[in-house]
Chains A and B, each alone.
Chain A
Amino acid sequence: MSDTDSILTVDRLSMRFGGIVAVNELSFDAGRRRITALIGPNGAGKTTVFNCITGFYKPTGGTMRLAHDNGREIALERLNDFRISKQAKVARTFQNIRLFPGMTALENLMVAQHNALMLASGFTFLGLFGAPSWRAAERRAIERATFWLKRVGLIDRADDAAGNLAYGDQRRLEIARAMCTEPALLCLDEPAAGLNARESAALSELLLSIRADHGTSILLIEHDMSVVMEISDHVVVMDYGVKIAEGAPQTVRDDPRVIAAYLGADEQEAIAVMESDA
C-alpha cells in the first residue's frame, strides 16, 4: 500500500455558478484505504467538491478518476446522480443529515440496499409472489442492516423512526446507511458537526474501524480539528476554491498559509487549528 496508490484522482476540477467560481482547478488524490480530509474555512468550496464527486453537480471542467481495487477505472464526471452510487460505488452523507425520517432505522438501511434487492426481487415480479430466492435475499439484507446497526450502536433503536433519533444517533445512522451500499469510497460531509467530545471520539473510532475492517477509503470534510488530526492520513486544505496546502496532518497544521487562511476567514477556526497543536 504505497502513497501513489490512489482510489480517487481529482484533476483540475472546476465548478462555476454563473460568474462565481466555487472551485478552481483543484487537483488532489485520495489514497486507497486511507482517510483523506478536506478542510478549509467556510465557503472554501468543500461541499461543492463533494457534490461534484457524488454526481449532484456536473463540473464545468476537470476530471475525477475512480480506480477500484480490481483495476476498473471510472470517470466520475461522466456519470450522473444515482449512477455514482450504483455503478461507481461512491456513497455519501450530508452536512444537514438526510435520513428518511418517517421510516425506521432498519427501513433506512433496507432502502440503501435497493439495487441488490431489486435484482433479487426479479424487479418486483418474483417478490410479489414471494419466491424463495427473494425471501432469502431479504433475510440477508436484514442481516446486513442488523450488522451495521450493531456496529453504530443503534441496534436497540432499529424499529424507531429515524426522525425520532437523537442528533448524534442520526449522524451515525446516516453513516451506517451509506455503508450498506457497500461503497469503495465513502464521502462524509462534516460527520462530527454538532457532536460532543465523547461522540466525536466514538466517531473517530468508528471511521478508523470502517477503514480497517472493510477496506473502505474515506474522504471527509470536517471542521472538528481534533477528529481531522486524529484520524486522517492526508489533509487537503482549500480556500476560495483553490488548494492552498496538502500533506500529513502535522505538516499542514504548521503551514503558515493554512493558519493565515483560517485567521483571515474565521478566528475561532484558526484558534482551533492552533490549539490542536498544543
Chain B
Amino acid sequence: MDYFAQQLINGLVLGSIYGLIAIGYTMVYGIVGMINFAHGDIFMIGGFIALISFLVLVSFGLTAVPVILLIVLLVAMAITALYGWTVERIAYRPLRHSFRLAPMLSAIGMSFVLSNFSQVAQGARVKPVPPIITGGYTLHKGAGGFVVQLSNVQIVVVITTVVLLALFTWLVARTRLGRDMRACEQDQTMAALLGVDVDRTISMTFVIGAALAAVAGMMYLLYYGLVDFYMGFVAGIKAFTAAVLGGIGSLPGAMLGGLAIGLIETLWSAYFSVEYKDVAAFSILIVVLIFMPTGLLGRPEVEKV
C-alpha cells in the first residue's frame, strides 16, 4: 500500500509534465487541425535552455535558489516561445491552406531540424545537473520500513503546474486573445470576417504552447536532473497520447490525459516491467483511439453524409 502511494505521487508528478506538453498539442490541433510533430522537440529545447541559463546564472554567483529558478523559468519560457513562433512562421504558415500531408511532413522535418540542431549545437551526450532542489518530507513510515516520501522537487513541479494552468485557463476563458482563439477554432473564415487577426491568433497559440512546453522541459530537468537531444521524441508521442486520451481539443482533457499517462507509466514500471513501459503507453494510445476515439472529454464527431 505504501509502495502504491509512493508510485501514485511519482505518477502524478510525471503526469503534470506530460499534461503541460499535451496542452500544446491539443491547442494547436484544435485551432489548425494538425499534429505539431515538432512540439516534443520544443519541449526538449525548453529543457536545454533552462539548463544553460541555470548554468550561466550559477556561474554569475547567484545563490538564491528561488530567484534563480524564477529567472530560469522566465528565460526558458520566453526563448522557447520564440522557437514555437519561428517554427510556425517558417514551416507551417506557408502550408496552412495546402494539402493535409504537406504540413505534417513539414512538421516531421521540423522535428528532425530541432533535435539535430540541438545535437549539433550542444553535443550528443546526456547533460546531467546536480539536484537543484533538495530535501523533502516523509509522509508515512510503513511497517516494513518502506518510506513514502514527497520531495521538494515534486512539490515545486506540481505547484508550478497548477499555477500555470490556472493562469492559462484564465487566459483562454477571460481574455480577448482567448476569445479569438476559440473563435478561430470554430471557424477561421468567419473569425477573420469578424475582425479577428487569424494569423496572429495562430501564432500566439504556438507561442503559448511552446511556453508551456518550456515549463515542462524545465520541470523535467529539475525532476530527472538531465536533458538530452533525443528526449523530445518519446516525450512528445506520450504527451500526444495524453492529449488524445483526454479528448483532443479539450484543454482540461489534456491535463487529465497527462495525469493518466503519467500514472499508467509509473505503475506499469513499478509492477510489471520498466523495459515495456513505453510499449504500454503506446498500446494504450491504440486502444483508446479504437474504443474511445473522442477521448475522455472530447466532443463526439458525427459523420456527415
Contacts and interface: CB of A to CB of B under 8 A. Distances in A.
Question: A and B from one assembly?
Answer: yes
Interface in A134-175: none
Nearest to A51: B305
A63 B87 CA distance: 55
A56 interface: yes
Interface string A47-61: 100010000100000
Interface residues of B, number: 3
B301 to A, nearest CB: 13
Contacts of B303: 56
Interface in A50-109: 51, 56, 94
A191 to B, nearest CB: 16
Interface in B279-305: 302-303, 305
A30 B302 CA distance: 29
Q: Identify whether the interface residues of A are mostly helix, strand, loop, or mixed.
A: mixed
Interface residues of A, number: 5
B99 to A, nearest CB: 12
B269 to A, nearest CB: 41
A17 B303 CA distance: 12
A51 B304 CA distance: 10
Contacts of B302: 17
Contacts of A47: 305
A24 B164 CA distance: 50
A47 B305 CA distance: 9
Contacts of A51: 305
B302 to A, nearest CB: 8
Nearest to A48: B305
Nearest to B305: A56
Contacts of A94: 305
B216 to A, nearest CB: 37
B100 to A, nearest CB: 15
Nearest to B300: A18
A51 B303 CA distance: 11
A102 to B, nearest CB: 12
A227 B69 CA distance: 75
Nearest to B302: A17
A13 B302 CA distance: 20
A51 B305 CA distance: 8
Contacts of A56: 303, 305
B203 to A, nearest CB: 33
A47 B302 CA distance: 15
A139 to B, nearest CB: 34
A82 B67 CA distance: 65
Nearest to B303: A56
Contacts of B305: 47, 51, 56, 94
6 contacts: A17-B302, A47-B305, A51-B305, A56-B303, A56-B305, A94-B305
**Among all A-B residue pairs, the 5 with the closest Cβ atoms:** A56-B305, A51-B305, A94-B305, A17-B302, A56-B303
Interface of A: 17, 47, 51, 56, 94
Interface of B: 302-303, 305
